[in-house]
Structures are given as structure tokens and as C-alpha cells.
A and B are shown apart, each in its own frame.
Chain A
Amino acid sequence: MRLLRILQRVLLAIPVAVGVAVLAFFSLHLLPGDPVQIMLGDTNTSAALIRSVQHELHLDQPLHVQLALFLGQLARGDLGTSIVQHRAVTAIIAEALPATIELTVATIVIAVLIALPLGLAGAIHPGSWIDRTVLSISLLGASMPAFWFGLLLILFFAVDARALPTSGQIDSAIGVPPVTGFLLVDSLLAHNGAAFLSVVRHLVMPALTLGVVFAAVLARTVRSSMVDVLHRQYVTTARAKGVPETAVVVKHALRNALIPAVTVAGLQVGELLGGNMIVETVFAWPGLGRLVVNSIFAKDYVVVQAAVMLYAITYVAANLVVDVAYTALDPQMELG
């Protein structure tokens, strides 16, 4: 029963992924005019050059042939070639990806560290002033435009205290030999403490910006599922048995409350990915989001197409993982 449902979920994700690819394929045709002409820049490009690039991108073929070639390429892990940078898109994306992953992990850590205590504090005494404060902060955070909050943080930390860097991922004077592409890991591998510290310092503000905004949503979820769980009979039973309150909250309630909280958090991954894009732009963080924005202005549409597709596939995969984990963990599934 359980295994069947998991298998069913995995199989259902496949047509969605194909649909995403088909949609990404057609996006290039949304451009007002000939994509190649637009990407090469409209003035003094020779007709021969345009024709050769059109041929390279298969744009001289009938639409259904183009689509088949595009999907075939994808299946081989080939995302095409950037006309603007004259490089494989997979290589361009592979360079940007580690920075985004580092930022995302740091964001999640910060969000959980803020949201968990806030949510718990609110849930333990629902309706109290602590609870009302938590809910107000959470509403404020949910209404906050992330890019603006980032600028406020810059004003607060960088301009006045001059303590933290506001752009980039590492001091330009420091070089780290690339091994994994993850600067935090690479600087440790190189035993370069100064580099590691520099990356951490650059990471603080972007991660804090998105982490705080994300924590607002998360705190609300933790609170409401904790309030729900604390009213369950097994919690009353535990209290009646004389289990100390801390143990009731942490051992009995929290563990069960985390299942719905994690599910909701998983569904928010989309917000996190989108928010990343904004924050990377604000802090000039050299990740995937900034790559997309820069590529839009460079008219490098092949990169935009591939990166948006990658975001969507990541999102589908994240939702799938959450769903499968939920199915695997939910004790009620056995009965159903």
C-alpha cells in the first residue's frame, strides 16, 4: 500500500518533468521576433551568421523536429550552447550552482534556528502576549518584500557598522583552488582559514535576509501544528503520568508536530528558490539566480531557458521528496 503510493507519486512526476521541458522549449518562441537575431544583437550581423546559428540551434527545422531534437539533447544531459558566451550551458550552470546551494543551505539553517524557538514559544501559551508577538512578527515577515529587507540589513550592518561585506562571495584578493566548487568546502580543503572566514562573512547577510523571511512562514506553521498536537490525548496522558513538561513538549509533542511542519516547509521550497533569485541579485551572489537575471539582460535566452527549467525540475523533485517522506513517515498510512 505504502510502497505502491510512493511508486505512483514517482511515476506521476515524469510527465510533469516532460511538460516542463516542452514549455521551456516553446518559451524561446515567445520572443517578439527571430530569437537568433535578438540574441546576436540586431545591428550588422550578416545573414550567413544568422543562418549558421539558426542551423546550430535547429531553428531552421520544422517545429516538431526542433522539439524532438531539444528533448533528445536533454535526455543526454545537454542543455545547449550559449550563443552569447560561446560555451556549453551545462558548464555555465555548473559554475553557478554551488554558490546557490551554499546560500540555500545557510538560509534553511538560519530559518529553522529562528522559527523553531519562536513557534514553540507561541504554541506553549496560545493567546498569550508571547504568542501574539510571534504571530505579529510572522505576519510582518510574510508581508516583507525580501529585496527590500536585504537593503535594510545593508543599511544597518554594512553602512553603519562597516562590519559585513555587501556583495560577492569572497574577498577578491583571496584565491582558493577550485576542487568541489563549493567555496566553503574548498577553503577548508586548502586549509585556508582566512578564505573560509571571508566566505562566511559574505554569506551572513544574504542568508539572513532570506532566512528571516522564510522563518516567518515557518514559525507560523510550527506554532499551529504544535498547538494542534498539544491538545491530543497522548499529550494529556503523558502529563497525567507525571512526565515533566519539558519532556512532554520536546519528546512527545515536538516530534509529532514536526511532520506537518516539514511538509509545509517543503511546499515552501518554491518561495525559497524564487527568493534566492532576488537575494542573489541584491548581494551580487554569484549563483544561479543572478545568472538568470544577468542572462536576461545579456539576451542569452538559451541560458535563461535552461536555468528556469532546472529550477522547475528541482522544485518538482523537492516536492516529490517531501511527499515520499511524508508517506513513509505518516503512521496513519498503514491503515489507509
Chain B
Amino acid sequence: MSTLHLLHPIRRHGVRALSSMNRVSAGLAAEPVGFIAGVLVLAYVLGTLLAPLVAPYSPPATDLAARLAPPSRAHWFGTDALGRDVLSRTMYGARVSIPVGLLTVGISAVAGTALGMSGAYFRGGIDVVGARLVELLQAFPYLIFAIGMMAFLGPGFWNLIWALALKGWIEFYRLARGETLSQAKMEYVEAAHAIGYPSSWILVSEILPNIVNTVTVVAMLRLGYFMVLEASLSFLGVGIPPSIPAWGSMISDGRNVLFVAWWVSTIPGLALLVLVLAINLLGDRMREILNPRRRTG
């Protein structure tokens, strides 16, 4: 990946970024697996945005006469113990998982990449602080760290994102630090120095475009993981407040009626599994397509 710039030594960065975008979409469209995964993710995003328009029922609307109704034409995926429509609640559940996943990945990627690049480039205090922080945070298994944080912060949308991002950035930090170290030795960086560009400009305009592909692939692969973590926390009751429909808490609700109404737990879990699987597949394909060794070799 660090050899990417050698392939296009004189291309403008904008063109380079565009070409990798095109390469990803063209590459994905050419393979059935990548194509299906892409369509699935797109469908989820659309469903999330349009949920208020297309969901057949209001998610908190209870219908005690139709408690635990099995899947039927009125309720495609049945109803839960309070007679709430499982399909509608599952659609609304995506409005928790997807934003939590995206925001956590976004905050983690930006913070981690910025800290990792500056650490590798400027060394000194910032590098030492970053390394110590990473060492400390790595001592905690991820889920346990997040549960511990949420135990003390209490349930909540933003609390959840901070609890996840507070440890999520370290992977991006390590990646960006390593990539920046190897890029900094390259001739184009030396050339930029010789011309007299300021260091911050070199970091942002010269080095960043060369590592942004790698960061994007890792971000994609972490996205699904963050969503599973969010669902796990909501399942345990320490994630999203129970008043908001989230996949994890819906699965947890269904546990009590598992023997009489399998659909209450199964459907939201399936929704989560399919989305995470599609995202992971997409990430895997992106990694293959953007891997320069595959293109040259």
C-alpha cells in the first residue's frame, strides 16, 4: 500500500482519489458478491432514511389485542409482547445502529489518524503521549471497556458513541502512524521538504492522500464491529435507553418470549447479521481492489 504513489508519481491528488473511488465501484460492480453486498448496504441506508414513510406501523404503537401475533399479512414479522410491529421496530432499529456505527467510525478514524500522523511526523511529546495512551487502552478488552464506561456514564446515544470511540481510535492511530513513518522516508516527501513546504502542509496534502485508502478500508471493516458492539451493549441494557427501538434491546426483549414467539428476537438479530455481513464483505472486497500488489502483480 505504501507503494501506491509510485504508480502515479505525478498525478494530482484529486485525480488519484477519484480514480480509486472509481476503481472501487467498478471493481465491486464486476463481482457478484461485491455487487450484492453493495446493494444490500444501500437498501439498509435507504430503509433507514425512509423508515417514517415506509414502516407500516408506528414503532411504539401497542396493540394488546394482537400480542405476540405470528408473522401474517397484517404483521409481516409478527408482533412483540406488547403487540408492537416487529418489522417497523426493526426498520427503526437501523436508525440507531447505522448512525452509532458511522459516528463512532468517523470520530475514531479522524482522531486516530490525526494523532498517529502527527506522532509519526513530529515525534517528541505527542508521540510519547499517544504511545502510552494506546498501551493503556489496549489493556482492556473492547467490550469490557465499553461496558465499564457505560456502567458509569449511564445509557444514552452520545454516551455510547463516546464509550466506543474512546478506544476505537487506537487502531487508526497505529495504522496511520506506521504508514506515515514509511511514507516520510519517500522521495516525494523529501522533495516537498527541499522545496520548502511547511510540515503541516506536507502532512495534509502530500502524505494523507497516500494513506487515506488504507484508512478507509480499515474504517469499513471496523464499522460492522462497532455495530455489533452497540447491539451487545443495548442487549445487556447499558447501551441505548430502552425507550428507543434498537436491535440489541429488541433481541433482549424477545428472550422472555423465545419459546412462544421466536420472531421477536430472531428478526432484529437477522437484520443485524445481514448488515454486518454485507459491510464486512464490502470491506474485504475494497481491500482486495485497493491493494496495489494485486494490480501490479
Q: Which residues of A contact B (CB under 8 A)?
A: 16-17, 19-20, 23, 27-28, 30-32, 139-140, 142-148, 151-152, 154-155, 159, 269-271, 273-275, 277-278, 281-282, 292-293, 296-297, 301, 304, 308, 311-313, 315-316
Contact = CB atoms under 8 A, between A and B. Distances in A.
Contacts of A297: 237
Contact of A296 (B132, B228, B238): B238
B277 A143 contact: yes
B269 A143 contact: no
B123 interface: no
Nearest to A22: B136
A147 B147 contact: no
A31 B272 contact: no
Contacts of B265: 148, 151
A270 B142 contact: yes
Given A151-B251, A151-B269, A277-B144, A143 B135 contact: no
Nearest to A18: B136
Contacts of A313: 139
B129 to A, nearest CB: 13
Interface in B229-286: 231-232, 235-238, 248, 251, 254-255, 258-259, 262, 265-266, 269, 272-273, 276-277, 280-281, 284
Contacts of A143: 224, 228, 273, 276-277, 280
30 contacts: A16-B136, A19-B136, A20-B136, A23-B136, A30-B152, A139-B280, A143-B273, A143-B277, A144-B273, A145-B251, A145-B269, A147-B235, A148-B269, A151-B265, A159-B259, A269-B141, A271-B141, A273-B144, A274-B142, A277-B144, A277-B236, A296-B147, A297-B237, A301-B151, A304-B148, A308-B144, A312-B139, A312-B144, A313-B139, A316-B139
Contact of B144 (A32, A155, A274): A274
Contact of A155 (B143, B224, B232, B266): B266
A140 B139 contact: no
B154 interface: yes
A155 B139 contact: no
A32 B251 CA distance: 29
Which secondary structure dominates chain B's binding surface? helix
A82 to B, nearest CB: 14
Contacts of B231: 145, 147
A275 B139 contact: no
B151 A152 contact: no
Contacts of B147: 277, 292-293, 296, 308
A49 to B, nearest CB: 22
A315 B141 contact: yes
Given A28-B152, A151-B265, A155-B262, A275 B273 contact: no
A131 to B, nearest CB: 15
B152 A315 contact: no
Contacts of B128: none
Closest 4 A/B residue pairs (Cβ): A274-B143, A270-B141, A148-B269, A30-B152
Contacts of B276: 143, 145
Contacts of A316: 139
A293 B236 contact: yes
B228 A145 contact: yes
A301 B149 CA distance: 11
Nearest to B278: A143
A304 B277 contact: no
B236 A278 contact: yes
B45 interface: no
Interface in B183-228: 224, 228
B152 A301 contact: yes
A315 B139 contact: yes
B153 interface: yes
B76 interface: no
Contacts of A154: 258
Contact of A148 (B139, B141, B224, B273): B273
A308 B148 contact: yes
A145 B141 contact: no
Chain A CB within 10 Å, residue with most, of B141, B154, B238, B281: B141
Contacts of B140: 20, 270, 308, 311-312, 315
Contact of B151 (A140, A278, A304, A312): A304
B144 A311 contact: yes
Contacts of B145: 308
Nearest to B148: A308
